Amino acid sequence: MKREDSYRHQGLRRKLVESIKQKGITDEAVLKVIMEVPRHFFLDSSFLEYAYQDKPFSIGWGQTISQPYTVAFQTQLLEVKKGDKILEIGTGSGYQSSILYVMGAKVFSIERIRPLYLKTKALLSELNYQVRLFYGDGYKGLPAYAPFDKILVTAAAPHIPETLKKQLKPGGLLVIPVGEKNIQEMLRVKKISDNDFETQKFGDFSFVPLLEDKS
Ligand code: SAH
């Protein structure tokens, strides 16, 4: 299927970028990539009108595509550089992975819901966004591909998984919303060395939960 990115979509995207800028996103590279990646490709076609509102939206299986402001905020905290090797936990629609890919990162992403993983894999390959997608449990990370420069968790974690801290390079960053059901605190953990981590807090957000390991 050919996906169309019309002037109308681009106009709506420009307004979205203005609105997230007003909400405090200052990183020019982040604003640029939000302008570049057509968010409407990641929603089912009957919901196109919602694609450029600054709101989360249902993508099926009880999951959501994160609010654009939240995507921009987490991306800004990651301080993405070209060539960064980044692991995302919670592929969902693939929008966040695509944002990181278009910024020049080497992106690996894990999704726990198999039909969603398959759907997003087909979409990203159609868009020719070369993101490496995995079906599995994000709590385990990807030991075979570690270490990573950055790790981004896009679902609410009850605690910071030790496995993910282990899979960071020294100097690497982990961005993760931590907390219980309705509200989580955005944390950025910097790995100074194997036993030394620095944590900064960045306010409250609300994510769908990171599903516990069923195995
Ligand atoms: N980054 C996504 C938003 C995802 S919402 C986007 O841009 O659209 C969170 C996603 O995390 C959901 O798709 C959910 O199924 C997935 N998820 C939940 N628990 C998980 C786990 N343990 N491992 C991997 N993915 C998980």
Q: Render pLDDT for 62-110 as a digit per residue (tens, 0 to 9).
A: 999 999 999 999 999 999 999 999 999 999 999 999 999 999 999 999 9
Q: Which of 63, 46, 64 is nearest to 55 (CA)?
A: 64
- Alpha-carbon gap, residue 101 to 98, rounded angstroms: 5
pLDDT of residue 44: 85
The ligand 1 atom nearest the CA atom of 90: 11
Q: Please answer whether residues 182 and 161 qualify as being in contact, where contact means their C-beta atoms are separated by less than 8 angstroms.
A: no
Q: Which of 98, 60, 91 is nearest to 210 (CA)?
A: 91
pLDDT of residue 181: 82
Using a 10 angstrom Cβ sphere, with 0-12 exposed, 13-18 middle and 19 or more buried, the burial of residue 151 is buried
Using a 10 angstrom Cβ sphere, with 0-12 exposed, 13-18 middle and 19 or more buried, the burial of residue 30 is buried
Q: Is residue 173 part of a domain?
A: yes
Instruction: State which residues form the domain around 125.
Output: 7-205
Query: What's the 65 CA to ligand 1 centre distance in angstroms?
Result: 9
Model confidence, pTM: 0.96
Of all protein residues, the one whose alpha carbon is nearest to atom 2 of ligand 1 is: 92
Q: Is residue 127 part of a domain?
A: yes
Q: Is residue 103 part of a domain?
A: yes
Say which CATH number the domain at 93 has: 3.40.50.150
Q: Please answer whether residues 92 and 111 qualify as being in contact, where contact means their C-beta atoms are separated by less than 8 angstroms.
A: yes
pLDDT of residue 137: 96
113 lines ligand 1 (CB under 6 A): yes
What is the β-pairing status of strands 85-89 and 63-65? unpaired
Q: Please answer whether residues 173 and 79 qualify as being in contact, where contact means their C-beta atoms are separated by less than 8 angstroms.
A: yes
Q: Please answer whether residues 74 and 175 qualify as being in contact, where contact means their C-beta atoms are separated by less than 8 angstroms.
A: yes
CA distances (Å), origin 9, targets 29, 106, 114, 144: 20, 27, 30, 39
- Alpha-carbon gap, residue 34 to 13, rounded angstroms: 8
Of all protein residues, the one whose alpha carbon is nearest to atom 11 of ligand 1 is: 90
The ligand 1 atom nearest the CA atom of 65: 8
Q: What type of residue is 179?
A: G
66 is catalytic: yes
Q: Is residue 133 part of a domain?
A: yes
Half-sphere exposure of 42 (CA within 13 A, CB side): 27
Q: Is residue 20 part of a domain?
A: yes
Q: Is residue 189 part of a domain?
A: yes
Query: What's the 60 CA to ligand 1 centre distance in angstroms?
Result: 12
Q: Which of 41, 113, 119 best tests ligand 1's pocket when mutated (most atoms within 8 Å of CB)?
A: 113
Q: Is residue 53 part of a domain?
A: yes
Tell me which residues of the chain have a pLDDT lower than 50: 215
- Alpha-carbon gap, residue 127 to 63, rounded angstroms: 22
Catalytic residue among 58, 66, 93, 206: 66
The ligand 1 atom nearest the CA atom of 155: 9
Query: What's the 111 CA to ligand 1 centre distance in angstroms?
Result: 6
Quote the number of domains for the chain.
1
Q: Is residue 211 part of a domain?
A: no
